[in-house]
């Protein structure tokens, strides 16, 4: 069985005018949305369906993209025995980063003390409002969360669009495909063609990102108002300072230690960062991130495993938000916390931060779940005062988590010897990879590939 021919190196990409670049179009959409939301809020509210429609359209692509990426990656890259170790290394790195993020949030809020002197009395807060927010909190049931990863049927994740159950069935399918060898070649070839079509369609849909970002941010500004930032401005500044420290110091050091530039990586994913800025959610850019990390030279199997896992277990922006907001409320309510109570709170947050994946504003629900789990320490009623600024903080949560997952996936690929360092350096120096550019192709079956763990089935001399 012959190998599918790989495309040669593409011709140098002619630089587009700045106004035709997607990141600039998204930025313009965000700025127009902010202005419309501030000066014409009644009109801006009507733009909400534009943002909702874009997010729904992109989210419908997530399951087929994740499924095909993981199955093809497992069928053509690496060995069965490496999968378990890759998962363990991923979870270890993600939990270490989460712990660091929790500590940074704690240090920032203790250092700036944005809640000091507010003297908030929780008894003055309307209980009905508290019930509204608490109703969205999930119960802390570790066993239930783990069992939820297993879908009720093989096809359930395709209908419900959840990432972790999709990851589960893709793992099973990919391993099964490896077992049958050449007999699975027709299925693999069909899935490869399907993957190309899905990514091509996704590249077309991403052209609507500026409209989606405009509608989403216009609604946020119109309903919350820039004036809501004023009363809690120090809290917001403290939060963003903590996020910037985590990204440029912690993630920057991690990237430097592994031989690549954080700044170049952020430049490489600037389109995705701006889409997240406009939509307050990382889910719409999951397919694009899978593509771009693979384009950077990370093996398809490595990226397919670690990025979806990171979307559920590496939400460092949410981790910073949880410690910072909880301690802020204790300061505002004049409730001193002992070291023992802070330790208990951090342990609870290690769990609740993992249940805040995907949906915009889910970090707020995770905060409610955290406070509900320790009612004798900080009253849940305090979350009401944060509701007005949550969407503004949601932007920072989502962008910080996206940066962390991008760096984490490259680092994990390097750990697994599943990253072509020459490709990584070349792509980062080039600085840009449009989602609709030519994609790599893969061998027809694992038995025919003869590739190493970095090659994705395409010889180094032929990869684009």
Q: What is the DSSP string of 213-255?
A: HHHHHHHHHHHH-TTHHHHTHHHHHHHHHHHHHIIIIIIHHHH
C-alpha angle 388-352-213 in degrees, rounded to nearest 5: 45
* Predicted pLDDT at 441: 40
For residue 8, being part of any structural domain is answered with no
Residue 152, token pair as written in the block: 């009720």
Q: Residues of 318-336 as b/e, b for ≥16 C-beta within 10 angstroms?
A: bbbbbbbbbbbbbbbbebe
For residue 379, being part of any structural domain is answered with yes
Please name the residue that has the structure tokens 């938000």. Answer: 321
For residue 464, being part of any structural domain is answered with no
For residue 3, being part of any structural domain is answered with no
Residue 250, token pair as written in the block: 């912690």
* Predicted pLDDT at 369: 75
Please name the residue that has the structure tokens 């990141």. Answer: 23
- The radius of gyration computed from the CA coordinates of the chain, to the nearest angstrom, equals 22
* Predicted pLDDT at 433: 63
* Predicted pLDDT at 218: 86
Residue 432, token pair as written in the block: 């840009």
For residue 5, being part of any structural domain is answered with no
Distance, in Å, from the CA atom of 345 to the CA atom of 342, rounded to the nearest integer, reads 5
Domain count for the chain, please give it. Answer: 1
For the stretch 269-315, pLDDT in tens is 999 998 898 888 888 888 889 989 999 999 888 888 899 888 888 88
Please name the residue that has the structure tokens 């277990």. Answer: 313
Q: What share of the chain is helix, strand, coil (3-state, %, to 5)?
A: 75, 0, 25
Q: Return the closest-CA partner of residue 71 out of 223, 210, 221, 180.
A: 180
For residue 310, being part of any structural domain is answered with yes
Please name the residue that has the structure tokens 């609709």. Answer: 436
Residue 296 sits in a domain whose CATH number is: 1.10.3860.10
* Predicted pLDDT at 1: 38
Q: Residues of 64-78 as b/e, b for ≥16 C-beta within 10 angstroms?
A: bbbbbbbbbbbbbbb
For the chain, list residues with pLDDT below 50.
1-12, 79, 136-137, 358-359, 437-464
* Predicted pLDDT at 129: 56
For residue 10, being part of any structural domain is answered with no
* Predicted pLDDT at 127: 54
* Predicted pLDDT at 128: 57
Q: Return the closest-CA partner of residue 290 out of 279, 304, 280.
A: 304
* Predicted pLDDT at 249: 97
Sign of the dihedral through C-alpha 373, 375, 378, 379:
positive
* Predicted pLDDT at 356: 52
The domain in which residue 222 lies consists of: 21-449
For residue 461, being part of any structural domain is answered with no
């Amino acid at each position: 069985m012959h190998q599918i021919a790989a495309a040669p190196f593409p011709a140098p990409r002619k630089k587009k005018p700045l106004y035709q670049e997607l990141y600039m179009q998204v930025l313009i959409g965000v700025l127009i949305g902010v202005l419309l939301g501030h000066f014409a809020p009644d009109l801006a509210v009507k733009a909400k369906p534009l943002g909702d429609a874009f997010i729904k359209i992109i989210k419908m692509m997530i399951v087929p993209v994740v499924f095909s990426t993981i199955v093809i990656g497992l069928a053509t890259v690496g060995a069965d025995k490496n999968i378990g170790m890759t998962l363990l290394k991923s979870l270890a790195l993600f939990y270490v980063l989460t712990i660091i993020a929790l500590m940074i949030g704690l240090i920032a809020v203790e250092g700036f003390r944005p809640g000091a002197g507010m003297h908030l009395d929780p008894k003055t807060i309307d209980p009905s409002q508290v019930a509204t927010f608490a109703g969205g909190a999930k119960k802390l049931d570790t066993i239930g969360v783990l069992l939820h990863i297993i879908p009720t049927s093989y096809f359930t994740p395709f209908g419900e669009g959840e990432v972790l159950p999709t990851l589960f069935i893709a793992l099973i399918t990919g391993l099964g495909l490896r077992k049958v060898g050449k007999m699975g070649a027709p299925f693999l070839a069909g899935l490869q063609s399907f993957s190309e079509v899905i990514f091509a369609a996704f590249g077309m849909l991403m052209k609507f990102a500026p409209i989606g970002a405009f509608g989403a941010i216009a609604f946020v500004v119109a309903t919350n108002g820039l004036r809501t930032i004023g009363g809690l401005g120090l809290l917001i500044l403290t939060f963003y300072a903590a996020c910037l420290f985590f990204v440029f110091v912690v993630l920057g050091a991690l990237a430097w230690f592994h031989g690549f530039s954080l700044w170049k990586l952020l430049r490489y994913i600037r389109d995705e960062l701006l889409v997240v800025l406009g939509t307050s959610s990382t889910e719409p850019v999951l397919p694009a991130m899978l593509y771009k990390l693979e384009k950077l030279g990370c093996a398809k199997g490595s990226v397919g495993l670690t990025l979806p896992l990171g979307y559920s277990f590496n939400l460092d922006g949410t981790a910073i938000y949880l410690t910072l907001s909880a301690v802020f409320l204790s300061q505002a309510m004049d409730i001193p916390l002992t070291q023992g109570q802070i330790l208990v709170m951090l342990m609870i947050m290690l769990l609740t931060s993992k249940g805040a994946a995907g949906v915009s504003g889910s970090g707020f629900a995770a905060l409610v779940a955290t406070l509900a789990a320790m009612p004798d320490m900080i009253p849940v009623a305090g979350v009401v005062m944060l509701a007005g600024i949550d969407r503004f903080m949601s932007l920072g949560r989502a962008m910080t988590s996206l940066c962390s997952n991008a760096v984490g996936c490259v680092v994990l690929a390097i750990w697994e010897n599943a990253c072509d360092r020459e490709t990584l350096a070349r792509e980062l120096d080039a600085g840009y990879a449009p989602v609709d550019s030519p994609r790599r192709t893969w061998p027809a079956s694992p038995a025919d590939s003869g590739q190493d763990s970095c090659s994705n089935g395409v010889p180094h001399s032929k990869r684009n």
